[in-house]
Amino acid sequence: MDTGTEVRKQNAPWNKGKLVGQKAPLRISEIWAIRVRLEISVRQRELALFNLAIDSKLRGCDLVQLRVQDVCHGSHVANRATVMQQKTKQPVQFELTAGTRKSLAEWIAVAKLTHNDFLFPSRIGNSPHITTRQYARIAHQWFDEIGLDPTAYSTHTLRRTKPTLIYRRTKNLRAVQLLLGHTRLESTVRYLGIEVDDALEMAEQTDA
């Protein structure tokens, strides 16, 4: 038995052969490419999930546990929602665009969901809602369908997309920090992939 080979295998880094680190956000053209495919194929659950992931900027663990009541006021999808984040235990607020509200309303009607139901119930297993693993598989299918390398993108891509677009347009770090629900500006800087010194200088100029 080649024990040397066994040791090398056991000591191999978990990320060997994998692309790790910050995942790229989607471009506007890529957002629409995914939306169009989901609309054409009438994948209403996935369209609602995709649109809400982009608008809410929530981590996967928070997104999959959303209930109908979190985004609806009575029988109508709200313009704005507030969710308590599991990781930070801090509330974060987000706007729901017209397209997202429409796709959510259609999905809720088709799935016949009630006020207390999870927005995205699981179709398999014992979980009452889709798991983060299921969400990741669905997201990777979206990326693959429009020709993106699934190893370079993840569910974190969807969380980063809208804040990145907003930052590129406004250069307002504080606004992006608030949108992401970050308690520290440095966390927002890492998300955007910009230099810390430049980011702090911009933030100071914004506060002036």
Whether residue 11 lies inside any domain: the answer is no
The string of pLDDT tens digits covering residues 120-170 is 999 876 789 999 999 999 999 999 999 998 788 999 899 888 888 877 787
pTM for this predicted structure: 0.77
How many domains does one find in the chain?
Answer: 1
| Enclosing domain of residue 125 | 24-153
Does residue 170 lie in a domain region? no
* 173 part of a folded domain: no
* Whether residue 174 has pLDDT greater than 60: yes
Report yes or no on 96 lying in a domain. yes
∠ CA 37-35-115, rounded to 5°:
115
Kindly state whether residue 171 falls inside one of the protein's structural domains: no
Residue 196 located in a structural domain: no
Show the 3-state SS of 102-159: HHHHHHHHHHCCCCCCECCCCCCCCCCCCCHHHHHHHHHHHHHHCCCCHHHCCHHHHH
pLDDT, tens digit, 9 for 90 and up, residues 53-90: 999 989 999 999 999 999 998 889 999 999 998 888 88
Domain of residue 122, CATH code: 1.10.443.10
Determine the Cα–Cα distance for residues 152 and 173; give it in Å rounded to an integer: 25
The verdict on residue 184 lying in a domain is no
Q: Please indicate, yes or no, if residue 197 is contained in any of the structural domains.
A: no
